[in-house]
Amino acid sequence: MSSHLRNRLEAGLNTLDVSLPDDTIECLVAYIQLFDKWNKTYNLSAVRDIDAMVSRHLLDSLAILPFVEGQRLIDVGTGGGLPGIPMAICHPEREIHLLDSNGKKTRFLFQVKTLLKLDNVQVHNCRVESFQPEDKFDGVMSRAFASLEDMTQGCHHLLKENGRFWAMKGIYPTDELKPLEKHYIVANSHALTIPGEEGERHVLEIRPR
């Protein structure tokens, strides 16, 4: 099974033009196998097929690697660790924080951190509005928020002065940008093509004015 998943992941990475070391690929495969195992009990995702998980979860998260910057990042509403765990695996030099209010999901994340020896990961089981970090973050990542307004309003207290939001969306969210115009600027946006997935995907880099 692991060789099949590795081949599927490597083919997707080639399509994305993302090159990763062998040990990183092995760690990503180990993560998605853990995700699949725990998903049967903890309902981490509606996706039940592990092949589909490689595309919809791993490759979708890895597609943003070339665009996200900063040494200290937080993934808000991370669920089963997406995109934060793949980011942490691929960038061990970065400090990655994972925040979710669901205790079952954060228990899974603690298990992943321990089993995969991800010393650069910190897990927080709380609501975003009650999370008050001592040090703020270079970037807030998420693919969980229903709207960009929810993301910016809910997480603005987490950002450093020159920090960025990295919002993962489906179709380009034109209607969601209007409420942000007074306080935020879309610094960059990138259309993503996810191998094995149909439909539009975008990542938006948003910064305060």
Q: Provide the mean pLDDT of the chain.
A: 96
What is the model's pTM? Answer: 0.96
The tally of domains found in the chain comes to 1
Known binding positions? 77, 82, 128-129, 143
- Token code pair at residue 17: 């033009």
- Token code pair at residue 151: 């993301």
**Cβ contacts of 26 within 8 Å, gap of 6 or more:** 6
Where residue 55 sits, what CATH number does that domain have?
3.40.50.150
CA distance 3 to 29: 9
State the Cα torsion 80-59-10-192 to the nearest 10°.
-170
* Sign of the C-alpha dihedral computed for residues 79, 155, 86 and 146 taken in this order: positive
Reported as a single tens digit per residue, the pLDDT across 174-198 is 999 999 999 999 999 999 999 999 9
Q: Is 134 helix (H, G, I), strand (E, B) or coil?
A: coil
Known binding positions for S-adenosyl-L-methionine? 77, 82, 128-129, 143
Domain housing 115: 2-208
Reported as a single tens digit per residue, the pLDDT across 7-31 is 999 999 999 999 999 999 999 999 9
- Token code pair at residue 84: 């934060």
